[in-house]
């Protein structure tokens, strides 16, 4: 088990995959604990750490996003944020511990419809709100680019996620961007806007429960002079 302490950006040399029987305790906005079991731990170069089981598909049981400080001890990994949140992983038995250099990733190429939607909306951002002003398209953050970053007439930053079909995963992605930008005094306070040709009912319910505004758009209308949008 390597020892050491990561820097403010939680930078690790390579991606590290650990399969171990472990228990996990989170302390922060609430307290949560995972009883001992065999799990996959993923420590990435961006400083994030995620705890996975063999269920729930891609979604971790618990995780910590950068910026944070990660400490490695003999049988313990601890991630701590500046807000005092902590994720403590007690390693009872390490079954595998490997590191990999994945190199630079070229990023996700969106499908034609989704990319075109984003481009059209960037050129006609007023279609999403008369008082909106575009700050930047594809605004970079440490967890990925924000599709459209806008500002409304009250000075609030509007974080826009554009999808062809709006699903819960897209709403979760948008909320992560809002959370990251809330930490930056240049952009706080923020509000989320979820835009798609079609938004699934479950995604709409989830989005609205988190204060996210949902807008369905028609790409055919966006290609011309937009005079109609459906707002939910």
Which residue, among 173, 130, 136, 141, has the nearest Cα to 157 in the 3D structure? 136
Beta bridge partners of 190: 157
Cα Rg of the chain, angstroms: 20
In this structure, is the dihedral angle defined by the CA atoms of residues 19, 22, 23 and 27, taken in order, positive or negative?
negative
| Region 172-186 average pLDDT | 93
Q: Check residue 227 and give its pLDDT.
A: 47
| Region 74-101 average pLDDT | 93
Q: Estimate the crossing angle of helix 168-182 against helix 201-209, to 10 degrees.
A: 20
Q: Check residue 224 and give its pLDDT.
A: 75
Q: Which of 10-24, 64-78, 93-107 has the lowest mean pLDDT?
A: 10-24
Q: Check residue 9 and give its pLDDT.
A: 36
Helices assigned H by DSSP within the chain? 112-123, 168-182, 201-209, 219-223
| Region 44-52 average pLDDT | 90
Mean of all residue pLDDT scores within the chain: 86
CA distances 24 to 117, 151, 158, 217, Å, are 41, 40, 35, 43
pLDDT at residue 8 tops 50? no
Quick one: tokens of 102? 């994945």
Which residue, among 7, 15, 6, has the nearest Cα to 104 in the 3D structure? 15
| Region 134-139 average pLDDT | 94
CA dihedral 187, 12, 14, 37 (to 10 degrees): -100
CB-based contact 211:192 (threshold 8 Å): yes
Number of Cβ within a 10 Å radius of residue 130: 8
Domains, the chain, with CATH or none = 4-100 (2.70.180.20), 112-231 (3.40.1350.10)
Span 187-224, pLDDT tens digits: 999 999 999 999 999 999 999 999 999 999 988 888 87
Whether pTM exceeds 0.85: no
> What confidence tier does 12 reach under pLDDT thresholds 50, 70, 90?
very low
Beta bridge partners of 73: 76
CB-based contact 48:15 (threshold 8 Å): no
Q: Which of 66-70, 78-82, 98-102, 121-125 has the lowest mean pLDDT?
A: 66-70
Using the structure block, give the residue that is written with the tokens 């609205």: 208
CB-based contact 151:157 (threshold 8 Å): yes
């Amino acid at each position: 088990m390597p020892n050491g302490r990561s820097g403010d950006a939680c930078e690790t040399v390579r991606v590290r995959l650990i399969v171990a029987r472990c228990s996990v305790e989170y302390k922060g906005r609430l307290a949560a604990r995972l009883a001992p079991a065999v799990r996959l731990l993923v420590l990435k170069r961006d400083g994030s750490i995620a705890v996975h089981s063999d269920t729930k598909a891609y979604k971790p049981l618990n995780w910590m996003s950068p910026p944070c400080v990660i400490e490695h001890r003999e049988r313990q990994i601890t991630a701590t944020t500046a807000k005092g949140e902590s994720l403590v992983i007690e390693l009872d038995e390490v079954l595998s511990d490997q590191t990999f250099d994945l190199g630079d990733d070229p990023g996700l190429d969106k499908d034609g419809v989704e990319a075109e939607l984003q481009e059209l909306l960037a050129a006609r951002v007023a279609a999403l709100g008369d008082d909106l002003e575009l700050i930047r398209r594809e605004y970079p953050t440490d967890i990925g680019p924000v599709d459209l970053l806008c500002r409304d007439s009250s000075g609030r930053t509007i974080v826009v996620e554009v999808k062809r079909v709006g699903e819960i995963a897209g709403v979760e992605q948008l909320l992560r961007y809002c959370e990251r930008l809330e930490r930056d005094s240049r952009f706080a306070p923020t509000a989320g806007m979820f835009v798609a040709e079609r938004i699934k009912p479950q995604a709409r319910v989830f989005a609205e429960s988190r204060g996210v505004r949902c807008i369905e758009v028609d790409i055919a209308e966006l290609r011309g002079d937009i005079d109609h949008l459906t707002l939910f």
